[in-house]
Amino acid sequence: MKPYSMQTEPFSNREGVLHAEEIPLPRLYRAVGPCYVYSRAALDRRVDAVLGSFGHRAQLIAYAVKANTNAHLLRHFQERGLGAEVVSATEIREAMRAGFAGVRMVCNGNGKSLEDLRAAIAADAAWINLDGAWELPRLEAEAARADCVFHVLLRVNPDLDASTHPYISTGLKTSKFGMDFEEAHRVVGDAHHYPHLRLEGLHVHLGSQIHEPGPIREAFTRVRDFGLSLEGPGFHFAALNLGGGFGVDYRGEIGDLDLESLAASLEDPGFWKGRTWILEPGRYLVADGGILLGEVLGVKRSHGRRFVICELGMNDLIRPALYEAYHSISPVSPREGAASPADVVGPICESGDFLAQDRELGPVEAGDLLAVRHAGAYGSAMASNYNGRLRLPEVWVEGDRAFITRRRETPEDLERLEGFEEVSW
């Protein structure tokens, strides 16, 4: 066993076989079967990149837990000094189990339940966002009940186009998130009715997959100026949360969002002095740290199309079906021969069950293994049991060692929830 080295190549082809760090993937597959594979080296590189560009600028870099809630990964990120951005009582619980302290926690959500609010109070979360005026009485009542105060950031919607997929765009006026400036203004005017709420800053998150600093910079200036104009009784501009959304290049064509230029574009020492700068990256930290590994069940041709039928389905990675997202797919042990178009599909009874369509792929046969890249973000986190499929195990690779951090689900896991208990109403 070799000591772990941060220099390890996360996923590399060695002598014709794809490896996760030091481990040949066919060996891992034989031991575990289909699974998500996370490379510690890849994850650490991303943490290094974010901390390198923002560690000395932003006071709180809160990892968006929704991107990947793997408990070991959370603990690792916590130990690396990140905070946690959470959107539900369960995410709060998971963050707490991973050791994240309340002072490093940001609670968001556009429809926080009372359970969520109580969990935020129990965790003593540093910040909570307010998505609209309607939440004011709810937050006030819960804080009063617990005899504490909420430090509130108003989530504003600047109606700014981040040029990303409509489903992952959140800063447009058509989006359900946040409030317009007029509403934020009214909220501040009403603040005196809510003695258990301290309105202490603003929150803006434009959406996901932003590839240029421009839109984030534009959101920053608009929201900064708006926040400064709000300062006064009822609003103390102590913190600004600029969200996440740092773009990742799934196709290997344009590169990831350049964090250094983003950081430079957000420089404003006069403004940031004495204020807390919060960021919430999710995908950027985890996407390329994970692959989805599975076997080809068979290949068929129909109407001249090549269908590669794979044991992995949309329930394991819903992004292609939901957003027509591109994920690079490669055979783990490529065969000799020319590439040709193929649809890589899963076994689920839905035509939308594909991992790739019309994709140039080398020759593959039943029993070959495929690696789906960038499955670290919104992969396992969005998995479901549709068609009776059991969620896949998650494997953490560190050098030449692999650890099952979440075992494969069993039918018994699902049956545990069933019953026929009479409701007393």
The site for ligand LLP, by CB under 6 A, has a size of 19
Catalytic residue among 35, 148, 310, 349: 349
Is 349 designated active site? yes
Per this entry, what is the length of the chain? 425
SS3 of residue 235 by DSSP: strand
Taking CB under 6 A as the criterion, the residue among 208, 276, 315, 380 binding ligand LLP is: 208
- CA neighbor of 277 nearest in space, from 226, 216, 202: 202
Stretch in the footprint of ligand LLP (CB under 6 A) among 143-151, 183-191, 244-252, 389-397: 244-252
Provide, rounded to whole angstroms, the least separation between the CB of residue 127 and ligand LLP.
12
d(CA 205, CA 364): 42
d(CA 155, CA 425): 38
Residues with Cβ < 8 Å from 347, sequence gap 6 or more?
Answer: 297, 309, 310, 311, 313, 353, 387
- CA neighbor of 14 nearest in space, from 6, 5, 23: 23
List binders of ligand LLP among 99-158 (CB under 6 A). 108
- CA neighbor of 177 nearest in space, from 132, 120, 234: 132
Provide, rounded to whole angstroms, the least separation between the CB of residue 78 and ligand LLP.
17
Provide, rounded to whole angstroms, the least separation between the CB of residue 162 and ligand LLP.
10
- Spell out, one character per residue from 259 to 288, where the chain touches ligand LLP: x when CB under 6 A holds, - when not: ---------------------xxxxx----
Provide, rounded to whole angstroms, the least separation between the CB of residue 56 and ligand LLP.
20
SS3 of residue 246 by DSSP: strand
d(CA 391, CA 386): 10
**332 bridge partner residues:** none
List binders of ligand LLP among 37-76 (CB under 6 A). 64, 67
Taking CB under 6 A as the criterion, the residue among 54, 226, 277, 378 binding ligand LLP is: 378
Kind and range of the H or E run holding 31? helix 25-32
SS3 of residue 158 by DSSP: coil
Would you say 379 and 290 are in contact if contact means Cβ atoms under 8 Å apart?
A: yes
- CA neighbor of 334 nearest in space, from 18, 11, 4, 7: 18
Q: Half-sphere exposure of residue 215, counting CA atoms within 13 Å on the CB side?
A: 27
DSSP 7: T
Provide, rounded to whole angstroms, the least separation between the CB of residue 242 and ligand LLP.
9
DSSP 125: -
List binders of ligand LLP among 152-191 (CB under 6 A). 168
Provide, rounded to whole angstroms, the least separation between the CB of residue 289 and ligand LLP.
13
Provide, rounded to whole angstroms, the least separation between the CB of residue 205 and ligand LLP.
4
- CA neighbor of 333 nearest in space, from 28, 26, 38: 26
List binders of ligand LLP among 317-346 (CB under 6 A). 319, 323
- CA neighbor of 204 nearest in space, from 236, 162, 256, 167: 162
- CA neighbor of 95 nearest in space, from 337, 280, 326: 280
Taking CB under 6 A as the criterion, the residue among 132, 201, 227, 245 binding ligand LLP is: 245
Provide, rounded to whole angstroms, the least separation between the CB of residue 63 and ligand LLP.
9
- Spell out, one character per residue from 4 to 43, where the chain touches ligand LLP: x when CB under 6 A holds, - when not: ----------------------------------------
d(CA 314, CA 312): 7
Query: Residue 110 or 333: which CB sits closer to ligand LLP?
Result: 110
Does residue number 205 form part of the binding site for ligand LLP (CB under 6 A)?
A: yes
Q: Return residues touching ligand LLP (CB under 6 A).
A: 64, 67, 85, 108, 168, 205, 208, 243-246, 280-284, 319, 323, 378
Residues known to be catalytic: 349
